[in-house]
Amino acid sequence: MAEIIDGKKISQDIKDEVKEKVAALREKGIETSLAVILVGNDPASTVYVGNKKKACEYTGIRSLSYELPEDTTEESLLQLIDKLNADDTVNGILVQLPLPKHIDESKVIRRISPDKDVDGFHPESVGRLSIGEKGFVSCTPAGIIELLKRSNTELSGAEAVVIGRSNIVGKPMAILLLRENATVTVCHSKTRDLREVCKRADVLVVAIGQPEFIDNTYIKEGATVIDVGIHRKGDGKKLCGDVDYEKAFPVAGKITPVPGGVGPMTIAMLMYNCYQAALMQNDLV
Ligand code: GUN
């Protein structure tokens, strides 16, 4: 029987910690701020951006909202980023993805100053992470490390297996686990015997993108299982992850539920990154 890793509670703790730290900075006359840019009106993106603004309000971070029409040109978006890069009252810049098809996402990500890249998507942020320099870490994998640490999961010397090699989750996750001295294996669609590799894991991070794909037969007795997936089950309202929770639960040592596991951590870590940005820009780290 697994212990449930409560992402809702842990993310709340982190937001409360950030709130205190942001208030302490304000005492010193330093405001923390985040510029959030949304282009178009994709319904999911609109909900995500709304949640990010709410979290800013909760933690005392000033949020500046830029809601631009779908037909915004790439050039005018880049100009807005230039303006925010140059604005000393803005600590973090977030451009909600995906962008409309006529805008080159990679060009936009590269235009954000690495010092304000609170999403951690800029190639310089990724580079800094991979050589162990200070910089912003992509929020979902950073949140997973917090879940593991705060649930007292031993990482040093552990066999960690990550399923998925995306730039936003799988790859940074592997680097972060390596930084914690785990022995890391990254699996993907060409991995020959996925079940065999997963069975070795003390810590299994699943970002495979397929509903309830990983069941008990992939899990070593007592392993910690982190489920990054989120899917709507059938045509109903019920959500599920990449892990078959009912089957995994009796074998795993610890497990994250969906919803209420990894999901809430992403925004909490975004708030933490904004606080870090304010510290860095005021030469306090
Ligand atoms: N779209 C979905 N997730 C994210 C995220 O973490 N950051 C940004 N900028 N866009 C997203």
CA–CA separation, 103 and 108 (whole Å) = 8
Quickly state the pLDDT bin for 7 (edges 50, 70, 90).
very high
Classified as helix, coil or strand, 230 is: coil
Mean of pLDDT values over 25-33: 98
Q: Would the pTM of this model clear 0.85, i.e. be above it?
A: yes
User: Is residue 136 within 8 Å of residue 118, measured between CB atoms?
Assistant: yes
Return all residues near 104 (Cβ < 8 A) that are at least 6 apart. 74
Ligand 1 atom with the smallest distance to the CA of 270 is 6
How far apart, in Å, are the Cα atoms of 220 and each of 18, 85, 155, 204, 215?
36, 47, 16, 9, 11
Residue type, 139: C
Q: Which of 39, 47, 53, 96 to mutate to test the pocket of ligand 1 (most atoms within 8 A of CB)?
A: 96
Catalytic entry in 6, 15, 96, 244: 96
User: Is residue 204 within 8 Å of residue 198, measured between CB atoms?
Assistant: yes
CA–CA separation, 162 and 202 (whole Å) = 11
Ligand 1 atom with the smallest distance to the CA of 97 is 10
How far apart, in Å, are the Cα atoms of 184 and each of 58, 99, 171?
36, 33, 11
Beta strands 231-232 and 239-240, pairing class: antiparallel
Helix and strand counts by DSSP (H, E) for the chain: 10, 11
Report the nearest-CA residue for atom 11 of ligand 1: 97
Ligand 1 mean position, distance from CA 96 (Å): 5
Q: Which of 116, 119, 138, 269 to mutate to test the pocket of ligand 1 (most atoms within 8 A of CB)?
A: 119
Place of tokens 């050589």: 131
Q: Which tokens in the block code for residue 30?
A: 């330093």
Report the nearest-CA residue for atom 8 of ligand 1: 96
Place of tokens 């003390």: 202
Worst-scoring range by mean pLDDT, 216-220, 229-233, 250-254? Answer: 229-233
Ligand 1-lining residues (CB < 6 angstroms): 94-97, 119, 139, 266
Identify which of 22, 265, 283, 243 has the alpha carbon closest to the alpha carbon of residue 137: 265
pLDDT in tens, 183-215: 999 999 999 999 999 999 999 999 999 999 999
Identify which of 96, 117, 122 has the alpha carbon closest to the alpha carbon of residue 280: 117
Q: What is the pLDDT of residue 200?
A: 98
Residue type, 228: V
CA–CA separation, 282 and 159 (whole Å) = 39
pLDDT in tens, 144-173: 999 999 999 999 999 999 999 999 999 999
Neighbours of 216 (CB within 10 A): 15
Q: Which tokens in the block code for residue 153?
A: 């999961």
Q: Looking at residue 12, what DSSP letter applies?
A: H
Ligand 1 mean position, distance from CA 195 (Å): 30
Report the nearest-CA residue for atom 1 of ligand 1: 97
User: Is residue 4 within 8 Å of residue 64, measured between CB atoms?
Assistant: no
Q: What is the mean pLDDT of the chain?
A: 97
Ligand 1 atom with the smallest distance to the CA of 168 is 6
CA–CA separation, 84 and 71 (whole Å) = 21
Ligand 1 mean position, distance from CA 97 (Å): 5
Which spans in 131-251 are helix H?
Answer: 139-150, 170-179, 194-199, 245-248
CA–CA separation, 44 and 236 (whole Å) = 17
Classified as helix, coil or strand, 36 is: strand
Quickly state the pLDDT bin for 234 (edges 50, 70, 90).
confident
Q: Please say if 52 is a catalytic residue.
A: yes
